[in-house]
Structure 1
Amino acid sequence: MSDASAPNDPQAAIDSQGRRRGEELDDRIFEHSAGDEQVGIPFVGAGPGNPRLLTVAGKELLETADLVVHAGSLVNSELLDEYCDHAKLVNSVGKDLEELIPLMRDAYEDGDEVVRLHSGDPAVYGAALEQMDALEHEGVPTYFVPGVTSAFAASATLRTQLTLNEVSNHVAFTRPQGKTLSPEEDHISDFVEMGDVTTCIYLGTHAVRDTMDRLLEDDHDPETPVAVIYHASWPDEDVIVGSIDDIAEKVEEAGYRASALVVIGDAVTGAGYERSYLYGDWANRGSGSSDADTQTNETETQAGDD
């Protein structure tokens, strides 16, 4: 049921749910794990583009949905055709919360199976939580269904790992400064300076030139590898590989202004990494111990190393 104190006011709902989050944990955290069947409206990650990269859970939910509210052209139309042709489709682009929340709430309360379909993974730059909080405030339960984010699709396309022993021990998901991010909140240069970070820049195709110019102004090595993957896993995917010094010119020549992921760091090429401990002599230490001890050592190694 709707909260009469703030009917159809998403901002009031977000503020209210935010206060609740600061005061107590949701009981459902301890009742459900990712992938569980749950009650409510699922916020599903459609993956990076290729319909085959949709999760099994996401596929099952879409195939039984009556209403799918999707992220417009950010979701591959082939995926919508394959899994949602039976459902009513609503493009969320251009619609604000004041329109989207009643739309989903009313359909759910009428007994429809409703799916909110985000591109990639809704937990990464998805603006999902504000919608979920507004729905929860209206008495409609919600939950996340993870998806494959574009950084992982880019890694697969580049045939490399985002983390590599002695090359990259960390991964940063970030975005360039602009309307949403102030210059003080832009840490791309800090990540690159660390040296062992693979920096994945979302929502930054339009800002490649500005970003690389700032990195050069900060005296970063101009030969640092950079890859720009346009429409990772889509049929028109394009890969541009260069360096901090020349990638902007290459992207401008290609004419891309959106829908590409920028990856900075030596993991782009995968060159120079060291063999990990996982399949080395260290993993086989204590060869005279029991089979159980050996299995325990192997499990601990897999959990704690590249």
Structure 2
Amino acid sequence: MTGNTDADGEDRIDTDGEPGLPGDLDERIRDHSAGDEQEGIPFVGAGPGDPRLLTVAGKELLEDADLVVHAGSLVNSELLEAYCDDADLVNSVGKDLEELVPLMRDAYEEGRTVVRLHSGDPAIYGAALEQMDALESEGVPTYFVPGVTSAFAASATLRTQLTLNEVANHVAFTRPQGKTLSEEEDHVSEFVEMGDVTTCIYLGTHAVRETMERLLADGHDPETPVAVVYHASWPDEDVIVGTIDDIADRVEAAGYRASALVVIGEAVTGAGYERSYLYGDWANRGSNDADEAESD
């Protein structure tokens, strides 16, 4: 496509993102917050799968849409049937920016209400910003509408927290090395080594064995808990629980090669945590001490 060009004459759609400075932030961040109704094409997070886990804002936008460009089988067809009856549906799988951007731009300029629907949350491995930048360069405003990411659905399915007092103080969203990520950019082992991190691996179902073998080679405890949640919140959801030592065998026996979230860490079991200071008598120790001091 032709389109607006940057100062150096390169078409915006073909230009890789370059580092920016705080002063380069979009002025609209001072005008709108997440959840606001805004002008332009919303990039909506469909959530992990269950249509009921779509946000209210996402539901309203889909029900009002004339055109919904969606992420194919990554979005539950039940969600599309429930909320997109009056919209034309376009599957984005197999289409590049040169096809998607004019499609959405032209529909928007014709006065149609357009929604770009991503799975989970578009801010997590969604490749949304490159589409948004390309649309913005064509004069079409865009904005994010958050969704529930699969790590949160997996946590709910496992009936545990991703953070647990004295067990896991941090959460890492990551992916394993492969075509997109080099060996130097793969930090899974580093996160696991920290001990108090719940490591959530996206886009890594096909690489469970390779990932676990690297963790074992790096000397991590083979008994570290691991859960693999396939299609979290979908009707065919499945949960496989094991350890760094045996989870690969279990996943391969189940036959899963995609669409699962891998969770590594002690928080998987929901055990061994310390009670927080939020509840119980000990939560009020500070205020009680102050009251006693005042009464002396």
TM-score (norm 2): 0.93
Alignment of 1:178-197 (within 5 A): 178-197=178-197
**1:90-144: per-residue Cα shift (whole Å, max 9, x none)?**
0000000010000000000000000000000000000000000111111100000
Percent of pairs identical after alignment? 80
Offset at residue 283 of structure 1 (A): 2.9
Alignment of 1:191-230 (within 5 A): 191-230=191-230
Q: Which position in structure 1 is the counterpart of 2:251?
A: 251
* One-letter identity of the residue aligned with 2:224: T
TM-score (norm 1): 0.90
Q: Which position in structure 1 is the counterpart of 2:287?
A: 286
Secondary structure, in 3 states, of the residue corresponding to 2:263?
Answer: strand
Q: Which position in structure 1 is the counterpart of 2:107?
A: 107
For 2:20 and 2:187, locate their aligned partners in 1 and report how far apart those are by CA, in whole Å: 30
For 2:243 and 2:252, locate their aligned partners in 1 and report how far apart those are by CA, in whole Å: 14
> Is the Cα–Cα contact under 8 Å of residues 108 and 114 in structure 2 kept in the other structure?
yes
**CA separation of 1:20/1:242 partners in 2, compared to 1, >3 Å: closer, same or farther?**
closer
Secondary structure, in 3 states, of the residue corresponding to 2:287?
Answer: coil
Q: Which position in structure 1 is the counterpart of 2:13?
A: 10
Alignment of 1:118-129 (within 5 A): 118-129=118-129
**CA separation of 1:97/1:228 partners in 2, compared to 1, >3 Å: closer, same or farther?**
same
Q: Which position in structure 2 is the counterpart of 1:304?
A: none
> Is the Cα–Cα contact under 8 Å of residues 4 and 12 in structure 2 kept in the other structure?
no
Alignment of 1:1-306 (within 5 A): 2-3=3-4, 10-12=13-15, 15=17, 18=18, 24-284=24-284, 285-287=286-288
> Is the Cα–Cα contact under 8 Å of residues 12 and 137 in structure 2 kept in the other structure?
no
For 1:97 and 1:9, locate their aligned partners in 2 and report how far apart those are by CA, in whole Å: 11
* One-letter identity of the residue aligned with 1:217: A
For 2:99 and 2:109, locate their aligned partners in 1 and report how far apart those are by CA, in whole Å: 16
Residue correspondences, number: 287
> Is the Cα–Cα contact under 8 Å of residues 101 and 131 in structure 1 kept in the other structure?
yes
Q: Which position in structure 1 is the counterpart of 2:294?
A: none
Secondary structure, in 3 states, of the residue corresponding to 1:286?
Answer: helix
* One-letter identity of the residue aligned with 2:98: E
For 1:88 and 1:199, locate their aligned partners in 2 and report how far apart those are by CA, in whole Å: 38
Give the unaligned 5+ runs of structure 1. Answer: 291-306
For 2:245 and 2:184, locate their aligned partners in 1 and report how far apart those are by CA, in whole Å: 23
Offset at residue 221 of structure 1 (A): 0.4
For 1:8 and 1:113, locate their aligned partners in 2 and report how far apart those are by CA, in whole Å: 26
Offset at residue 27 of structure 1 (A): 1.1
Offset at residue 4 of structure 1 (A): 5.9
**1:150-174: per-residue Cα shift (whole Å, max 9, x none)?**
0000000000000000100000000
For 1:274 and 1:4, locate their aligned partners in 2 and report how far apart those are by CA, in whole Å: 56
